Amino acid sequence: MPRWSDYTTGERIKILRGRDIRQSDLAEMTGLSVPTIQHAEQDKRLTLQTLLLIANALGVDTSVVLGQTAPRRAMEQDDRAMMRALSRAVHDIAAGVLPDGGTAPGVDEVSENCRRSWDLYWQGRYVEAGALAAPLLAEAAALLREQPAGEEAAAWGLLADGYRLAGYVANLLGARDLAYAAIGHAQTAAERAGDDLRRALVMSGRSWVYLRDARLPEALTLAERAATDIEPRFSRATTGQLVAYGSHINFAAVVASRMGDRERVKDYLSQSHATGARMGAEARAHGTVFGPVTAATQAVGINVALGQTGKALNLIKDIAPEHEGALAEAARHRYAMDKAMAQADAKLWDASLDTLEQALAKAPHWARHQALPSIIVQKVGKGSTARLRRVSKLLGGGIPGTGPSGFAPATARTAL
């Protein structure tokens, strides 16, 4: 498959335009004439002004159009537009640049908008969550600006939540620099809020960015700190505290599994399962979800990462469909990927492709932002040719690349 830089500039414009945007649509979006768009795509003539207008309309940097930077696989025009708006919001608000507007909404309204944004995220609707994160940041910043001295803690906390959401979306869509920037601003806001729980949530988020960037030792250090800093006393812990601790200690197990540290994994999984058992059911709090089913299903992926295929398959046998129904949608889809990976490792080719095909068909919008499906297909050396074709079609082929800001291509160790 050709590299992004192997295409001509005109070919890159056509690919970025895709099937949903006609030449006449792009002309209207840019204010240029159709012949000007045609000349650009035919590599006949492309002035600097035309280049800037086309790049802006397609939601990419000029470096992407010129082939100097590759776009992320499966990133569509709406995705790119959302990412540019989110990037502007993160950087502008951190610099104190707020949109003009009237009175800021109250704490309750911003809190509700924050909850809705996180709900979209856990449904696997990342582009929609990212689209809401930009105005959420503006609302939280406006709220902060109106608070009397000494009463800003709640607003700082909401701002930290907004930045963390922006960082998570950027991390999933492969925008490394934006992910680092957003999680850094989230850390500052959490510190200003004086909220230990939010500090731990941000620390765990930074660990995830490190994991995606293959900085495994640093990721593990942060994941461990995030969990130990908020370890509750079970006898008097609230549901919210258990959700936060369980998700943090479970993530520490995930990172340890990527490093092959079985002793740490065993310890962390034990604590994760104990926390889930104490809760008795799945619960959402602080922009995260955890419970006994989450602990069990994520243990599958953790054992896959450790190469313990038999153990992963045995765990799968104990997870019934009704158990999966208790998970957040994104977690349910991710479990399907882990299950398909375990089946592929066991050379159950058709079973793996069947699991993968069902998951991709149920959640195409979620799947196109994931690296693991392609890794699973690469693992499947044998299987139904017809099914392989169907799965490949669902994956959409896409454009090869490393991401708009340079994450290394995801592997089975860093895809999460």
d(CA 40, CA 65): 11
Q: What is the pLDDT of residues 207-236, one digit of tens each?
A: 999 988 888 899 999 999 999 988 888 778
**What is the 8-class DSSP label of residue 410?**
P
Question: pLDDT-based confidence at 17, cuts 50/70/90?
Answer: confident
How confident is the model at residue 328, as a pLDDT?
A: 86
Residues β-bridged to residue 288 = 285
Give CA separation, 222 vs 150, 253, 316, 398, in Å.
Answer: 30, 12, 29, 34
Give CA separation, 168 vs 144, 209, 226, 335, 343, in Å.
Answer: 22, 8, 16, 19, 29
Among 44-58, 324-338, 386-400, the range of highest mean pLDDT: 324-338
How confident is the model at residue 407, as a pLDDT?
A: 45
Question: Which residue in the block uniquely carries the two structure tokens 């100097």?
Answer: 68
Q: What is the pLDDT of residues 88-101, one digit of tens each?
A: 999 999 998 887 76
Least confident range from 129-138, 336-345, 403-412: namely: 403-412
Question: Which residue in the block uniquely carries the two structure tokens 């399907």?
Answer: 336
How confident is the model at residue 399, as a pLDDT?
A: 38
Q: Which of 97, 161, 91, 106 is nearest to 129 (CA)?
A: 161
How confident is the model at residue 4, as a pLDDT?
A: 82
pLDDT higher than threshold 80 for residue 76: no
Question: pLDDT-based confidence at 414, cuts 50/70/90?
Answer: low
364: left (phi over 0), alpha (psi -120 to 50) or beta: alpha
CA atoms in the 13 A half-sphere facing the CB of 168? 28
Question: Strand, coil or helix: what is 10?
Answer: helix
How confident is the model at residue 377, as a pLDDT?
A: 79
d(CA 15, CA 23): 12
pLDDT higher than threshold 50 for residue 403: no
Give CA separation, 358 vs 77, 151, 184, 313, in Å.
Answer: 26, 50, 37, 18
Q: Mean pLDDT over all residues of the chain?
A: 86
Alpha helices in 146-261 (DSSP H): 153-172, 176-193, 196-212, 216-229, 239-258
How confident is the model at residue 395, as a pLDDT?
A: 67
How confident is the model at residue 396, as a pLDDT?
A: 60
Question: Which residue in the block uniquely carries the two structure tokens 């998951």?
Answer: 359
Q: Which of 324, 372, 325 is nearest to 345 (CA)?
A: 372
